């Protein structure tokens, strides 16, 4: 009996020198150029994998300025590849090269496969972090994929909405679409699902102009979560800054997620909706010194990560995830900037929300608003022209930086969230700060020549309670996360309205609905840029779980079948009011000074009133017990001009906020402010009194229900137009 002949190895492809730029794998129609940076490498191997997993290794013939490069004719889209880097394995000096570890290209445009978590992915033997583990990891690693860069964008144009006209909707690709009955089953949970007409109709119906997608950069599922039967649902565990994650793709072929993502952007743009990405450039999925070797750690650890100066085995961690990207190194900065430009130029993205953005300002230790990263962004002709939103904090010392980012940046305004929550749950001494937040947070942004739109206003976001849970729970209920309810924020500034969780009490249920309407109204009439968390307009609940990062299931997905249609209709109405009236979308801060004729008849652009109709005094603002206030917004005192240079004019409005637990009688301003008023929004349980409060005269008295808002629109105004 003779043995079967050995299979012949695949023929080695022809290899040319290629170019050192651009980095990554670049297909030109005839072949693919590969380029990889590593300053520490002694030798690099490009590893090509066929459909059966057989590996062919190629040594790039050229290296220029620490960039190893090769051009391989005939290699095209769909080719799977990775790298092996030969060099020092000296953790104490910060180097962790090991050619037995297959490494993902940091510039991968697409990734195929998943991580099979086992010992081979780690550079050390379990139990001995100072050892070296030479198990080959190729079989357990996903592979980078060469993509087809060509796509028919048609007549695609970025909507380029002004910040003042922007309403942002923070959403998770899967959570938003997974149960929507109007989306075909095979498209639910995918980029194509987000682009489906049923979803676009919903977004436009509530006035959304920009959807902010939670991380879609390819991310790794944590092995410890997989062991618990959970997964990294949120996606803040990035392993590639260029590749859309295929977990959200309906495309059957490797690399098809890129085409599907582009098609999603094109469809959203056709509907006038911008696409903003939540990006995680502050750390990667490789974690701390006990983490796996998947990509940058094995390519050039000391260049890509911030290490502890006196013991480079360890990583500086300003993110709470184990490592921080080394933004003080030019190639790390290049990686970030190349990624941002790629998403804008090749995938037509309209903006970015930077997770833990304070980390990007830590060139050395302290947060520095003049850090090199921000200088590069400001000077870049592409990146500087899209929307730039900072999450203005990290977990390091001095990391809370609300109000301190450079002028062209906007910020998630955490002070807005906290103040509005405190006001509506009845906390004392919140009135003066509530007025600042409602009017655009001039105390945070005006001194640096920024505008109200620097403030991204939000009450809820992915991290924390949903809006419905904010008014239904005093305490977090995260038992499903498997951490004994120790994870997640314990101080939520929430109020359950009298019962913890689900209840049949009609009084509690009605109050919770009213509080949700109060929050949505406050958000949409505040100066700045409102951001709605997906499903809040539908009454979405996570059953009190305020840290759903690991729950990829019905707990975190929107339950479209159980949507609160009344709340949805209310949201649509208030969003339309904002869209139709520029007085709620001012581009400049209020001055409080008279506008129009400079005499006793000139009305201020904003005026604050106590419930009795008198203008607010310092004593009123400082009263700890005060929980009610009214504000006049002068629609003819807007200092903005339209694209043709014409002054923007609008109706005037009078807003009454009553966070007290009892009804409050408000006296409307005299006839000089408006001869009559009609109700535009009312969040209360019953009708305004008197019964004909749909339209009331100047100086009338209105009893405003406990914990409610009324927005009154002027019937006629004495202002610029009448003088």
How far lies 680's CA from each of 522, 652, 654, in Å? 14, 12, 10
Averaged pLDDT for residues 26-49: 98
Please tell me what DSSP assigns to residue 117.
-
Residue tagged 């339309």 (tokens): 576
User: CA dihedral in degrees (681, 684, 687, 688; nearest 10)?
Assistant: -70
pTM (2 d.p.): 0.95
**Residue-level pLDDT at 244:** 98
Rg (CA), the chain: 28
Q: What is the pLDDT of residues 575-584, one digit of tens each?
A: 999 999 999 9
Residue 221: burial class (beta carbons within 10 Å; 0-12, 13-18, 19+): buried
The answer on pLDDT for 699 being more than 80 is yes
Q: State the sign of the Cα–Cα–Cα–Cα dihedral 593, 596, 602, 607.
A: negative
Query: Is the pLDDT reported for residue 713 higher than 50?
Result: yes
pLDDT mean over 275-293: 97
What are the start-end ranges of the H helices in 623-682? none
Q: Which domains does the chain have, with CATH numbers?
A: 24-146 (2.60.40.10), 591-715 (2.60.40.1180)
Please give the sequence-ordered ranges of beta strands (E in DSSP) within 228-373, or none if there are none: 274-279, 351-354
CA 166 to CA 457: how far, in whole Å?
11
- Is the confidence at residue 96, as pLDDT, over 50? yes
Strand order in the sheet with 67-73: 24-27, 31-37, 67-73, 62-64
Token pair in block for residue 268: 């959203």
* Paired tokens of 370: 């003049």
Active site residues: 355, 391
Q: What is the pLDDT of residues 372-418, one digit of tens each?
A: 888 999 999 999 999 999 999 887 778 788 888 888 999 999 999 99
The torsion of the CA quartet 524, 529, 532, 533, rounded to 10 degrees, works out to: -150
Helix and strand element counts for the chain (H, E): 15, 29
| Whole-number pLDDT of residue 3 | 53
> How high does pLDDT run on average in the chain?
93
The torsion defined by the Cα of 579, 584, 585 and 587, in degrees rounded to 10, comes to: 160
Give the residue from 81, 276, 74, 35 showing the smallest Cα distance to 167: 276
Beta bridge partner(s), residue 32: 27, 72
pLDDT in tens, 542-559: 999 999 999 999 999 999
- Of 563, 527, 532, the closest CA to residue 461 belongs to 532
719 CB-near residues (< 8 Å, 6+ apart): 595, 596, 603, 634, 635, 636, 637, 652
How far is Cα 65 from Cα 580, in angstroms, rounded to an integer? 56
Number of residues that make up the chain: 723
Give dist(CA 523, CA 316) in Å, integer: 37
pLDDT, tens only, 47-93: 999 999 999 999 999 999 999 999 999 999 999 999 999 999 999 99
Please, is 482 exposed, middle or buried when counting C-beta atoms within 10 Å of its C-beta (0-12, 13-18, 19+)? middle
Give yes or no for residue 720 having a pLDDT over 50. Answer: no
- pLDDT tens-digit map of 654-690: 999 999 999 999 999 999 998 899 999 999 976 454 4
User: In sequence order, which residues have a C-beta less than 8 Å from that of residue 654 and are 6 or more positions away?
Assistant: 630, 631, 632, 633, 668, 669, 673, 674, 677, 711, 712, 714
pLDDT at 682: 94
d(CA 409, CA 37): 30
Q: DSSP label at 14?
A: P
Among all chains, which residue has been given the structure tokens 């780690």?
122
What pLDDT does 318 receive?
87
Banded pLDDT at 350 (limits 50, 70, 90): very high
Chain centre to alpha carbon of residue 520 = 19
pLDDT in tens, 199-212: 999 999 999 999 99
Residues 83, 143: Cα–Cα separation, whole Å: 10
pLDDT confidence of 427, banded at 50, 70, 90? very high
- Joined together, the tokens standing for residue 330 give 């030019």
Please work out, in degrees rounded to the nearest 5, the angle formed at the alpha carbon of residue 644 by the alpha carbons of 639 and 649: 40
pLDDT at 7: 54
> Residue 95 CB: number of other CB atoms within 10 A?
18
User: pLDDT at position 8, please?
Assistant: 56
CA dihedral 530, 532, 538, 539 (to 10 degrees): -100
Q: What pLDDT, in 10s, does the model give residues 512-534?
A: 999 999 999 999 999 999 999 99
Q: How far, in Å, CA of 373 to CA of 361, rounded?
A: 7
Percent of the chain with pLDDT over 90: 84
**H or E stretch covering 68:** strand 67-73
> Encoding tokens for residue 28?
């030109």
Question: DSSP code of 224?
Answer: H
Determine the 3-state secondary structure of 432 from DSSP. helix
Residue 49 pairs in a beta bridge with 55, 80
Q: What average pLDDT score do residues 354-383 get? A: 80
Among 109-123, 173-187, 420-434, 595-609, the least confident range:
595-609
For 78, list phi and psi in degrees, rounded to 5. 95, -15
Other beta carbons within 10 angstroms of residue 366's beta carbon come to 11
Task: Indicate if the pLDDT at residue 602 is higher than 60.
Answer: yes
* pLDDT tens per residue across span 610-655: 999 999 999 999 988 899 999 999 999 998 887 777 888 999 999 9
State the pLDDT at residue 595.
80
Q: Contact 10/51 with Cβ under 8 angstroms?
A: no
**Half-sphere exposure of 580 toward its Cβ, with a 13 Å CA cutoff?**
12
For residue 14, what are the contacts with CB-CB under 8 A and spacing of at least 6? 72, 73, 74
Residue 434 in contact with residue 624, Cβ under 8 Å? Answer: no
Measured CA to CA, the distance from residue 325 to residue 360 in angstroms comes to 8
- Closest residue by Cα to residue 458 from 420, 486, 425: 420
């Amino acid at each position: 009996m003779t043995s079967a002949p050995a299979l012949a190895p695949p023929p080695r492809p022809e290899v040319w020198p290629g170019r050192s730029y651009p980095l990554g794998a670049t297909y030109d129609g005839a072949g693919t150029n590969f380029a990889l940076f590593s300053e520490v490498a002694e030798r690099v191997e490009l590893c090509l994998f066929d459909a059966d997993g057989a590996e062919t290794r190629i040594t790039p013939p050229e290296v220029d300025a620490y960039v190893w490069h090769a051009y391989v004719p005939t290699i095209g889209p769909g080719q799977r590849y990775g790298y092996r880097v030969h060099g020092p394995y000296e953790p104490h000096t910060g180097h962790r090269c090991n050619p037995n570890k297959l490494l993902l290209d940091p510039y991968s445009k697409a990734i195929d496969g998943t991580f099979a978590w086992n010992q081979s992915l780690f550079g050390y033997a379990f139990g001995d972090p100072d050892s070296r583990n030479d198990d080959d990891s190729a079989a357990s690693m996903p592979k980078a994929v060469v993509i087809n860069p060509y796509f028919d964008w048609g007549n695609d144009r970025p909507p380029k909405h002004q910040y003042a006209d922007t309403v942002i909707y923070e959403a998770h690709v899967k959570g938003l679409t997974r149960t929507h009955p109007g989306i075909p089953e095979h498209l639910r949970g995918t980029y194509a699902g987000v682009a489906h007409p049923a979803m676009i109709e919903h977004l436009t119906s509530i006035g959304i102009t920009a959807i902010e997608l939670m991380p879609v950069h390819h991310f790794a599922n944590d092995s410890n979560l997989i062991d618990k039967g959970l997964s990294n649902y949120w996606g803040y565990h990035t392993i590639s800054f260029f590749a859309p994650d295929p977990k959200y793709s309906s495309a059957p072929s490797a690399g098809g997620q890129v085409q599907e993502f582009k098609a999603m952007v094109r469809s959203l743009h056709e509907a006038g909706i911008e696409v903003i990405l939540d990006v995680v450039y502050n750390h990667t999925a490789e974690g701390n010194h006990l983490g796996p070797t998947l990509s940058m750690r094995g390519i050039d650890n000391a260049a890509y990560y911030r290490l502890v100066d006196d013991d480079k085995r360890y990583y500086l961690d300003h993110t709470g995830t184990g490592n921080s990207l080394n933004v003080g190194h030019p190639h790390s900065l290049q990686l970030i900037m190349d990624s941002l430009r790629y998403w804008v130029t090749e995938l037509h993205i309209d903006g970015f929300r930077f997770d833990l953005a304070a980390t990007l300002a830590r060139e050395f230790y302290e947060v520095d608003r003049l850090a090199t990263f921000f200088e590069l962004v400001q000077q870049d002709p592409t990146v500087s022209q899209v929307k730039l939103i900072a999450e203005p904090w990290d977990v390091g010392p001095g990391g809370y930086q609300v109000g301190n980012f450079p002028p062209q940046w906007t910020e998630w305004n955490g002070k807005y969230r906290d103040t509005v929550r405190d006001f509506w749950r009845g906390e004392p001494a919140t009135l003066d700060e509530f007025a600042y937040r409602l009017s655009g947070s001039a105390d945070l942004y005006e001194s640096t020549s920024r505008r109200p739109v620097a403030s991204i206003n939000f009450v809820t976001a992915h991290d924390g309670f949903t809006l419905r849970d904010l008014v239904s729970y005093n305490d977090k209920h995260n038992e499903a996360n498997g951490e004994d309810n120790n994870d997640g924020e314990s101080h939520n500034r929430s109020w359950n309205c009298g019962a913890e969780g689900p209840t049949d009490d009609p009084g509690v249920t009605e109050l919770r609905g009213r509080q949700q309407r109060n929050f949505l109204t406050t958000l949409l009439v505040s100066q700045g840029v409102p951001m709605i968390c997906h499903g809040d307009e539908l009454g979405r609940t996570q059953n009190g779980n305020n840290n759903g990062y690991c729950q990829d299931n019905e707990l975190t997905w929107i339950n479209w079948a159980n949507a609160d249609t009344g709340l949805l209709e209310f949201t649509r109405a208030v969003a339309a009011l904002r869209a139709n009236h520029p007085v709620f979308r001012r581009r400049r801060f209020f001055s409080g000074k008279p506008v129009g004729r400079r005499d006793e008849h000139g009305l201020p652009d904003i005026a604050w009133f106590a419930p009795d109709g008198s203008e607010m005094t310092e004593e009123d603002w400082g009263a700890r017990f005060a929980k009610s206030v009214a504000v006049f917004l002068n629609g003819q005192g807007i200092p903005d001009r339209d694209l043709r240079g014409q002054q923007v004019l609008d109706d005037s409005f009078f807003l009454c906020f009553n966070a007290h637990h009892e009804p409050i009688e408000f006296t409307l301003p005299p006839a000089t402010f408006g001869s009559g008023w009609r109700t535009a929004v009312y969040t209360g349980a019953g009708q305004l009194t008197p019964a004909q409060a749909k339209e009331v005269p100047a100086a009338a008295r209105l009893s405003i229900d406990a914990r409610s808002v009324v927005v009154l629109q002027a019937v006629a105004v004495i202002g610029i137009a009448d003088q």
